[in-house]
Structure 1
Amino acid sequence: MLTVSRPDRDATRAAIVAAARQLTVTRGWAAVRMSTVAELAGVSRQTVYNEYGGRAGLADAMADAEIQRFVAGVREALFAHGGQVRSAVAAAVRFTLDEAAVNPLIRVILTSSRGGADPLLAYLTTRSDVVMAQAAVPLLEWAAAHLPPLPAEDLTFAVDTVIRLVVSHIVLPLRPAEQTADALAGLVLLLLEASRRH
């Protein structure tokens, strides 16, 4: 039996996910077929099935890749400002809002429910707890590195609140991204101050 080396398999999986992403962006998730993904990735249809099992596994992998990229960007934005709370949080929020505005996959996900034929949004919303947990990681890491010790429960609540507010402003923006980022950063300062007083 032929064994495939890990680097080759990683490259194959990355090519499949990239092909699925490209097709989702250009045609919508409802039009993505395993055979088309295989052709675009330069692999056999059976390879796509072997690696991901079907469309649900492929959607999962595509979402995970996108989330990892977002989390890396948020981490970079936060840590670039060190312990300057307002600047760090504003930069992270601004990065997230800007990426959501220009990222073609995020745009497809956010608009797919309007036509009623594309199940990708519904699928991804079933993973919202995973998405929220991963989004919290860089915020908690930054807080541990740059903020005075806070009760874990208070810090977790503050992080969760900020993430939920950012998501709500992605879905239904009320003002320009820069203003929203600054306002949410100010809110974080208030939450931290309230936590320190207890």
Structure 2
Amino acid sequence: MPAARESLLEAAGAALAARPWRAVRMVDVAAAAGVSRQTLYNEFGGKHGLGRALVRRETDRFLAGVDRALDLPAPPAERLAALADWTVTAARTHPVVRALLTGCWSDALPAPEAGFPAPRLPGAVPAEPGALTRAVRDRAAAALGPLHASPGHCELVVRLALSYVVAPAEEPAEPVLDHLLGAFSAPSPTAAGRSPRR
């Protein structure tokens, strides 16, 4: 029942936005989704399973946004800026994404399981501090290629974006990000005609 499953996840997400996870009741989620409580239990097995599925869905949605930013028809620096912007926006508006990126979980959120499989992802994104950040770094490095951004540069951009989530600044992040990304606009030694060292 894909439609019922998605309706239940939408209802669970709306409930989580309104109250702590511990106060979310299965009967209310089922009623909001327009299905029976038995259907909810058939789909997820219980509240723990529903919470895990919600964490997976938030992970999938965040990484889909990461891919959209990295697939923009723009220079590498602009794609990294879009990635940073998406990271800040998603982490500020989705508590589960913020917790996955920062490792700061509370009892107001569903409890993740370490190493849960994330659908449509190669391997797994463990629910441990830094795992999703590393996944974003690796995707960015793969999308941009070694001539444009190393994994270290990509991780620096993601961590800079996260700093604006954890400790919001009064000033916008653009000047800092522009300065950091200026390095990506300069031609690389290979692009300038020199061969890379072996």
TM range (shorter): 0.5 to 0.7
Higher relative contact order (CA 8 A, sep 6+): 1
Q: Which letter maps to 1:58?
A: L
Give yes or no for contact 2:81–2:177 (8 Å, CA) kept in 1. Answer: yes
For residues 153-172 of structure 1, the aligned pairs below 5 Å read: 155-172=150-167
TM-score (structure 1 length as normaliser): 0.68
Structure with a larger share of its residues in helix: 1
- Alignment gaps of 5+ in structure 1: 1-8
Q: Which letter maps to 1:148?
A: L
Matched, 1:88 2:87: no
Identical pairs, percent: 32
For residues 89-108 of structure 1, the aligned pairs below 5 Å read: 89-101=80-92, 103-105=93-95
Give yes or no for contact 1:77–1:92 (8 Å, CA) kept in 2. Answer: yes
Q: Which letter maps to 1:75?
A: D
TM-score (structure 2 length as normaliser): 0.68
Secondary structure, aligned partner of 1:72: helix
Matched, 1:148 2:120: no
Residue 130 (structure 1) shift: 4.9
Q: CA RMSD in A?
A: 3.6
Which deviations, in whole Å up to 9, do the C-alpha atoms of 1:105-129 show, x marking residues without a partner? 459969xx79x7x3427x3495035
Matched, 1:11 2:10: no
Distance 1:167 1:32 in 2: 28
Distance 2:173 2:112 in 1: 24
For residues 128-139 of structure 1, the aligned pairs below 5 Å read: 128=128, 130-136=131-137, 138-139=139-140
Q: Could you say if the C-alpha distance between residues 136 and 107 of structure 1 is closer, same or farther in structure 2, counting changes exceeding 3 Å?
A: closer
Matched, 1:22 2:14: yes
Residue 87 (structure 1) shift: 1.5
Alignment coverage as a number of residue pairs: 174
Distance 1:125 1:162 in 2: 27
Equivalent position of 1:120 in the other structure = 109
Q: Could you say if the C-alpha distance between residues 133 and 60 of structure 1 is closer, same or farther in structure 2, counting changes exceeding 3 Å?
A: farther
Q: Which letter maps to 1:97?
A: V
Give yes or no for contact 2:66–2:86 (8 Å, CA) kept in 1. Answer: yes
Q: Could you say if the C-alpha distance between residues 185 and 51 of structure 1 is closer, same or farther in structure 2, counting changes exceeding 3 Å?
A: farther
Residue 57 (structure 1) shift: 1.9
Q: Which letter maps to 1:80?
A: L
Distance 1:131 1:37 in 2: 28
